[in-house]
Chains A and B, each alone.
Chain A
Amino acid sequence: MSAPCSDDPPTEDGPDPVAPGQTVEDLMVQVVERADEIIGTQVQLRSLLVANRAVVGELSVPEVLLRAVEGARAVTGARAAALGVLSREGGLESMVHDGLAAADVAGTRSLLERRLPADGEPAAGAGPAGRTTLTVPVRAQGELYGHLHVTGPREQAFSTEDEDLVLALAATAGIAVENARLHEESRRRQEWLLASSEISQRLLADDGGDGLAVWRQIVGTVHRLSEATLVNLVVPTDDGELMRVAVAAGEGAELVEGRTYPAGTSVGRRAMEQGRAAVLQSDAEHRLRSPGGLPQPVGPLMALPLQGEFGARGAVVVCRGVRQAPFSAVDISMAEDFAGQVAIALELADARSAQQRVSALEDRERIARDLHDHVIQRLFATGLSLDSAARSTVDPSVRDSLRGTVGALDETIRQIRTSIFALKYSKPAAASLRATVLGVVEEMTPRLGLRPVHRFTGPVDSVADEELAADVAAVLRQWLTGLTGLAGLTGLAGHAGVQHVSVELETDGQTLVVVVADDGRGLPAGTRRSGEQGLVERAARSGGELVVHQPSGEGRRLRWSIPVS
């Protein structure tokens, strides 16, 4: 026999028979045959070593399997080799092969599906097309992982050496699979860690992160890393009776988002209550679950609590498909760790935004106080001067008139004092949100030196009442005025580099999103941003969330989302 491995010397390189006599010739033939055998075995051993090296050198499971079948084919000189990986539920999870004719693939698959040999003994026998075959078990982490199968090129059966070689290769492949799995595990662990640190960073970034966008990132990450079909971030409703799918990623995400379902004994609720992952691996367990916001039957399901200081704020529900593998212990622990990290970051971000809201409030009040302090000082000074004048005048009518003015000034000071803590923005006359916004755009156009582009999506008029319209108008006016402040009086272009400003309002009936974006160079570093804080505070009063985003070198973007349902 010869190995097809091109690196190895062919057997013809063996000693040449030179004896003249018949018996000697016979003897020589035997010697040569024996030598050939020895050399052949050496060649096989060498190719086994090569194959082994190739197999263990690989770090991904599919590559390991491919190298194993290539190796098995090489060391035995087989026509084809295949490796079938058994699935947990029985049947074949996957099969890799080398040299197998297309017609033989199906037959080989069904052969390898049958868990042959039952107890890991090598089985030699007739293959699908009457060829001689050899099948050996591959074990990984103490379990039967699959079978390595070779189909001979010859009529005779594989030798015991062939068997030993394939067994050796199968053992190597098993170890390599284990190794690859561990490597994969650590790689995935790193990915999860990376993802959680990215989300933490984003949550704790200076702009505080956009709430909904961060939640999207969370479910998107879990979806990507947990091999799930659908991932929902669910939060309990105020009364705790229902669970609401806040955001979702994966198949049918758009269908489940925003849906509610009875909290009952749902897996999400269970995870929140027990403070650790709740897992449903099998169909039987699924029947225990109350109907969720899931559009189709699902396979393995796990829920990860987002633990906060005062219990869980919600849970991430991870669904795999019906035919997908159950969650391994590693899957669960990684996802659990991730959820834990994210929950901590959410807590921190909450605490910080609360703090920021408080300081914004104080900052705004401080500015107002300082301003009015100054105004009061001017009025006081004027009043004192008039009072002096009144005292020195002899004409009673002039004195009375001056005293009257002093009284009016005092009254003004009093009014400022009483109104200082209840600063109110003037409301525009009742109008639809659309009309109000258009009014502000019109009003601001001459001051900006350009016309902001506006766009409305969804039923913006029906979701906003007069008060909200007034709030939106005030925020728009303040923001756009802030832009003119950047540019001075001569318009925006060429100063702040602003060529375009867009005002967009969008609603899905539940949330109104106001986005104002420009393409300028943004604020110079160190610019006081107190105006922004005022806006954030105003947004917070409407129950919304306002975020100002300024990527370096790009324009600024204000995004205000207000719950309106």
Chain B
Amino acid sequence: MVDTSQLTTTPLRTRTGSILVLDDDEAVRDGLADLLGAAEGLQVVGSAASTGEALTLVGAAEPDLVLLDARLPGPTGISACRELRSAHRDVRCLLLTAFDDEEALLATALAGAAGHLVKQVGGTAVVDEVRRVAGEPDVVSPTAVAAVRARLGLARVVEGRVVDGWGAVDPGREVLELVLQGRTDLEIAGRLGLHPRAVRAEVLGLFARLGSRRRGPLVPA
């Protein structure tokens, strides 16, 4: 299905439900390819075991969606996702997560991903969610961004510094704001005069800070 809203975000071509799978675990990679390939309206155009491989394949196959594991080795799925989007701004990423919690939403928002998918095999949950996200107009999940903003909206000022809803003092506020707007590392780097890698490092730092404080008390602003 193609609707008009898609044209505003991916104007160059019509989406075909093409998917790239990125997972370091071969069994998962093959299993997902098999599962999704069997689903009507979806096609797996490639599978990659590393971020570098995925970057090449995304350039070549131009998939609508990259399904990737949030717990990729090295600098995690967040980093991979941001790297992919810096190279291909409009590619949608779907993060596979073990848990369905605030941390998953935070990871999704900070990765600039279109959504997260909880690891589950049976039923049609995976296929349904992949279909849904592949057809969504938004490149970055509005749900995840809203959840993080709601949390940050409870920010308060403590001793002259902003403390967010997780209780974290937030020095990376500027980067965070641009991330939540869906900007890529390249864009943020250009705007703030930083190296894209520095932006990525800052985002991972934000994830660690905000993630580890997620149990902090909520204090209304």
Using a CB–CB distance below 8 Å, which chain A residues touch chain B? 358, 361-362, 366, 369, 372-373, 376-377, 380-388, 391, 403, 406-407, 409-410, 413-414, 417, 420
Contacts and interface: CB of A to CB of B under 8 A. Distances in A.
Interface string B9-38: 000000000000000010110111011001
A377 B35 contact: no
B35 A406 contact: no
Contact of B35 (A384, A407, A410, A417): A384
A402 to B, nearest CB: 11
Interface in B137-165: none
Given A410-B120, A413-B119, A420-B99, A380 B28 contact: yes
Interface in B167-199: none
A420 to B, nearest CB: 7
19 contacts: A361-B215, A369-B99, A376-B98, A376-B119, A377-B69, A377-B119, A381-B25, A382-B27, A383-B122, A384-B30, A384-B31, A384-B121, A388-B30, A388-B35, A391-B38, A406-B121, A410-B123, A413-B120, A417-B98
Closest 3 CB pairs of A and B: A384-B31, A383-B121, A381-B27
Nearest to A362: B212
A235 B32 CA distance: 63
Contacts of A386: 121
A467 to B, nearest CB: 24
Contacts of A387: 31, 34-35, 121-122
B31 A388 contact: yes
Nearest to A372: B98
B71 A373 contact: yes
A434 to B, nearest CB: 37
A417 B100 contact: yes
A369 B27 CA distance: 22
Interface string B116-130: 001111110000000
Nearest to A382: B27
Contact of A384 (B28, B69, B98, B123): B28
Contacts of B25: 377, 381
Range of interface residues on B (Cβ < 8 Å): 20 to 34
B122 A384 contact: no
A380 B71 contact: no
B121 A380 contact: yes
Given A369-B98, A369-B99, A380-B28, 11 more contacts: A361-B215, A362-B212, A373-B99, A377-B25, A377-B69, A381-B28, A385-B27, A387-B35, A387-B122, A391-B35, A410-B123
A387 B99 CA distance: 21
B99 to A, nearest CB: 6
Given A384-B34, A420-B99, A406 B28 contact: no
Interface centre among B31, B38, B71 (most CB of A within 10 A): B31
A443 B98 CA distance: 35
Contacts of B35: 384, 387-388, 391
Interface of chain B: mostly helix, strand, loop or mixed: loop
A380 B121 CA distance: 7
A403 B123 CA distance: 10
Nearest to A376: B98
Contacts of B121: 380, 383-384, 386-387, 406, 409-410
Contacts of A376: 98, 119
Contacts of B32: 384
Interface string B195-221: 000000000000000001001000000
Contacts of B122: 383, 387, 403, 406-407, 409-410
A382 B120 CA distance: 11
Contacts of A362: 212, 215
A414 B118 CA distance: 10
Given A407-B122, A409-B121, A417 B99 contact: yes
Contacts of B99: 369, 373, 417, 420
A373 B98 contact: yes
Contacts of A406: 121-122
B47 to A, nearest CB: 12
Contacts of A388: 30-31, 34-35
Given A384-B34, A409-B121, A377 B28 contact: yes
Nearest to B118: A417
Contacts of A420: 99
Interface in B102-118: 118
A386 B30 CA distance: 11
A98 B138 CA distance: 102
Interface string B59-74: 0000000000101000
Nearest to A370: B71
A44 to B, nearest CB: 73
Residue with the highest number of chain B CB atoms closer than 10 Å, among A380, A383, A407: A380
Contact of A391 (B28, B34, B123): B34
A383 B31 CA distance: 8
A380 B212 contact: no
Contacts of B34: 384, 387-388, 391
Contacts of B27: 381-382, 384-385
A240 to B, nearest CB: 26
* Most chain A C-beta atoms within 10 Å of own C-beta, residue among B27, B30, B122, B123: B122
Which of B30, B34, B123 has most A Cβ within 10 Å? B34
A358 B167 CA distance: 12
B107 to A, nearest CB: 12
A150 B70 CA distance: 96
A403 B215 CA distance: 38
A251 to B, nearest CB: 47
A452 B170 CA distance: 50
Q: Which of A361, A382, A384, A406 has the largest count of B CB atoms less than 10 A from its CB?
A: A384
A10 B212 CA distance: 90
B31 A377 contact: no
A380 B38 contact: no
Contacts of B69: 377
B20 to A, nearest CB: 17
A377 B71 contact: yes
Contacts of A383: 31, 121-122
Contacts of A381: 25, 27-28, 31
